[in-house]
């Protein structure tokens, strides 16, 4: 059985742009080591809030990224995306947007127009997934993963594991990843149980999106993040109420990290080059 290292309460929230109120679980706080959850570099959790109706969609304006991937998971509300590689999409409840910044692009994210006009509940997760050196300059790409396309493993009580990437008991997720990653949502009924097993070397964490659960017998409330030690493989999850839990596990990328703003590189020289590339227009244009 894999041991729990920390159960982390949601850090104080802050706004990203004017549309995303997030708790930044890492890097920072107890996970100040930027490689502690590698290949996952950043976890911004938008716990459920309600937005009032707005004529102009809230969100984050045009900004660059390079050297990694952004993964946005929608739980409530709807999110629109555009980037300078010509990709665009809208995701709603259960959908996932997986953008590979790679060699660099500009993008913007904001509340979808119809949702903005009505307002309502909003809940999301954004992850930054690092790329290894050999893929840092890969061509930007975009994967719009609908809830209907997820790999679904149904448990005996009707609970389900929705697999985004990697696999659960032979059920595979649709996302393409550059390194081995398991990412899934456990949607458990009250008293529902699920077993997970990942290599001990994989960095692993669970985020309780809603409900109350027991993880390896320890109670964990909604909006809390559970970081596991790298000392075992098996994890037992039981829901004490209707619950949703985001499961993350991946093979660490054992390379240097130079992180600055929207750039995630191996060296500071590469960061400086990325800044020059943005300023010279090599990341394209986006209105």
Q: With CA atoms as reference, report the closest residue to 182 among 243, 220, 228.
A: 228
List for the chain the helix, strand, coil content (%; round to 5).
10, 50, 40
Give the model's pLDDT for residue 206. 98
Architecture of domain 4-279: Sandwich (2.60)
Question: Does the reported pTM lie above 0.85?
Answer: yes
Per DSSP, the residues of 120-139 read EEEEEEEEEEE--GGGTTPP
What is the average per-residue pLDDT within 273-286?
A: 96
Using pLDDT thresholds of 50, 70 and 90, give the confidence band for residue 221: very high
Give the model's pLDDT for residue 118. 97
Report residue 210 as tokens: 């809603």
What is the average per-residue pLDDT within 19-27?
A: 97
- Res. 29: pLDDT tops 90: no
DSSP conformation class of 166:
S
Q: Which residue has the higher pLDDT, 4 or 32?
A: 4
- Res. 30: pLDDT tops 90: no
What is the average per-residue pLDDT within 35-47?
A: 98
What is the average per-residue pLDDT within 33-38?
A: 96
Helix (H) or strand (E) holding 247: strand 243-250
- Residue 269 and residue 256 in contact, taking contact as beta carbons nearer than 8 Å: no
User: Average per-residue pLDDT in the chain?
Assistant: 97
What is the average per-residue pLDDT within 101-112?
A: 98
| 47-99 pLDDT, tens digit each | 999 999 999 999 999 999 999 999 999 999 999 999 999 999 999 999 999 99
| 137-180 pLDDT, tens digit each | 999 999 999 999 999 999 999 999 999 999 999 999 999 999 99
Per DSSP, the residues of 55-98 read SSPPEEEEEEEBSEEEEEEEEES-EEEEETTS-EEEE-TT-EEE
What is the average per-residue pLDDT within 250-270?
A: 97
Taking the domains of the chain in order of start, what are their residue ranges?
4-279
Using pLDDT thresholds of 50, 70 and 90, give the confidence band for residue 245: very high
> What sign for the dihedral angle of Cα 79, 80, 85, 87?
positive
d(CA 93, CA 115): 12
């Amino acid at each position: 059985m894999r041991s729990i290292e920390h159960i982390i309460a949601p850090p104080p929230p802050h706004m990203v742009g004017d549309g995303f109120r997030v708790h930044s679980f890492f890097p920072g706080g107890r996970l100040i080591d930027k490689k502690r959850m590698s290949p996952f570099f950043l976890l911004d959790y938008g716990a459920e809030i309600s937005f009032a109706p707005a004529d102009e969609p809230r969100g984050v304006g045009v900004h660059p990224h390079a050297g990694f991937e952004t993964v946005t998971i929608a739980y409530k509300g709807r999110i629109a995306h555009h980037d300078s590689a010509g990709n665009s999409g809208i995701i709603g409840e259960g959908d996932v947007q997986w953008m590979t910044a790679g060699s660099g692009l500009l993008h913007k994210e904001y509340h979808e127009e119809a949702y903005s006009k009505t307002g309502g509940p909003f809940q999301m997760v954004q992850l930054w997934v690092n790329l290894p050196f050999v893929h840092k300059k890969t061509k930007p790409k975009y994967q719009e993963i609908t809830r209907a396309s997820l790999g679904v493993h149904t448990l005996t009580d009707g609970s389900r594991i929705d697999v985004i990437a990697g696999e659960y008991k032979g059920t595979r997720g649709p996302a393409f990843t550059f390194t081995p990653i398991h990412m899934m949502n456990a949607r458990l009924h009250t008293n529902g149980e699920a077993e997970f097993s990942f290599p001990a070397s994989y960095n692993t964490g669970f985020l309780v999106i809603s409900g109350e659960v027991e993880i390896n017998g320890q109670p964990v409330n909604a909006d809390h993040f559970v970081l596991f030690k790298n000392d075992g493989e098996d994890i037992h999850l039981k829901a004490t109420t209707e619950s949703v839990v985001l499961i993350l596990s991946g093979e660490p990328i054992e390379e240097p990290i130079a992180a600055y703003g929207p750039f995630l590189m191996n060296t500071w020289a590469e960061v400086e080059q990325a800044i020059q590339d943005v300023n010279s227009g090599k990341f394209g244009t986006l209105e």
